[in-house]
Amino acid sequence: MTLITAPRSLFTLPLLLLGCLVALPVTAGTETGREHPGVALVLSGGGARGLAHIGVLQALEEMRVPVDCVVGTSMGALVGGVYAAGIDPAGMQQELEAMEIAELFDDNPPRPERDHSQRRDDYRPLFGFSLGVNESGVQLPAGASSGYKFELFLKELLGTGLALAQQDFDNLPTPFRAVATDLESGAMKVFDRGDITRVMRASMSLPAVLAPMEIDGRIYADGGLVRNLPVDVARATCGDVVVAVNLGTPPNSRESLTSSLAVASQAIVLLTEQNVQRSLAELTASDVLIVPELADYTSSDFSDLAPIIQSGREAVQAQRDGLASLSLGTEEYARWLAGRAARKPPQRQVNALVAASGRNVAETAIMQDIHASVGDDFDLHHLGTDIGNAYGRGDYSYIGYSILPEGEAARIEVEATSKPWGPGFLKFGLGAATDFNSPSQLNLAASYRRNWINRLGASWRVDGQLGYDSYLSTEFAQPLQLRDGAFMAAYLAARREIIQAYRGEDRIGDVTVVEASGGFDVGVSGRGGELRFGPFLSYADTTPDFGFFNPVTEERSYQQAGLRLTGVHDQLDSYAFPRHGALVRLDAEAGLPDWGSDTEQLAVRLELRGAHSIGSHTFAASIEAGGDLNGDGNLLVQDRYQLGGARRLSGLFLQQLTGDRYQLATLGYYHQYARLPTQLGEGLYLGMSMEAGRIDDPLSEDPFDWIGGTGVFWGADTILGAMLFGYGYSTTGQSAWYLTLGQSF
Percentage helix, strand, coil for the chain under 3-state DSSP, each rounded to 5: 25, 40, 35
192: annotated active-site residue: no
d(C-alpha 547, C-alpha 537), whole Å = 32
Question: What is the H or E stretch that residue 91 is in?
Answer: helix 89-97
Distance CA 270, CA 260 (A): 15
Selection from 97, 41, 98, 75 nearest residue 298 by Cα: 75
Does the bond joining 14 to the residue before it have cis omega, within 30 degrees of 0? no
Q: Radius of gyration over alpha carbons of the chain, in Å? A: 32
DSSP symbols for 634-675: ---GGG-EEE-STTSSTTSPTT-EEES-EEEEEEEEEEEEEE
Which is nearest to 338 in space by CA: 177, 175, 176, 173? 173
Q: What type of residue sits at position 289?
A: L
State the Cα–Cα distance between residues 574 and 579, nearest whole angstrom: 7
- Helix crossing, 75-84 with 196-203: angle to 10°? 160
Query: Where does 225-304 have alpha helices with state H?
Result: 231-237, 260-280
Q: How far apart are CA 574 and CA 114, in angstroms?
A: 12
Distances (CA, A) of 204 to 243, 278, 659, 693: 21, 21, 58, 54
Residue in 74, 279, 459, 730 annotated catalytic: 74
Catalytic residue check, 74: yes
- Which stretch of DSSP H or E encloses residue 716? strand 707-718
The torsion angles phi and psi of 114, rounded to 5 degrees, stand at -80, 160
Three-class SS of residue 84?
helix
Residue 237: CB atoms within 10 A of its CB come to: 23
- DSSP letter for each residue of 417-454: EE-TT-SEEEEEEEEEEE-SSSPPEEEEEEEEEE--SS
Q: What phi and psi values does residue 525 have, to the nearest 5 degrees?
A: -135, 145
Spot the catalytic one: 68, 222, 287, 521.
222
Instruction: Tell me the C-alpha distance between 704 and 706, whole Å.
Output: 6
Rounded to the nearest 10 degrees, how much is the dihedral formed by the CA atoms of 77, 78, 79, 84?
70
The number of residues making up the chain comes to 745
| Catalytic positions | 74, 222
